[in-house]
Amino acid sequence: MTQHDIYDEYKGLRLWNYLTCEKDAEERETWRIRVEVKRIDEVVIPAVDGDRTYVDRGLAQMAGRVLGARLVDESGIS
């Protein structure tokens, strides 16, 4: 299993996207996301698993940004 931990900035917060990739017997990739929101090193929204899988790392990364922004907007923090 491959893992990439990346973050994007949104409203002064860091949207951490923990991407994991598994390959099947035919070497097809399946990416999953887990998003956590931090203010520097302080967790302000605990990690949330994404509700679907992705066939491409770029799609998974974009979905992590969208999920993180939605979590921030719904929580009302900034």
DSSP conformation letters of 21-52: EEE-TT--EEEEEEEEEEETTEEEEEEEE-SS
Domain count of the fold of the chain: 1
Domain that includes residue 7, residue range: 2-75
Going by C-alpha positions, the residue among 29, 31, 42 that lies closest to residue 4 is 31
**Cα–Cα distance, 13 to 19 (Å, whole number):** 19
pLDDT tens string 18-60: 999 999 889 999 999 999 999 999 999 999 999 999 999 999 9
27-36 burial code (b ≥16 CB/10 A, e <16): eeeebbbbbb
pTM score of the predicted model = 0.90
Would you state the structure tokens that stand for residue 75, as one six-digit string? 């929580």
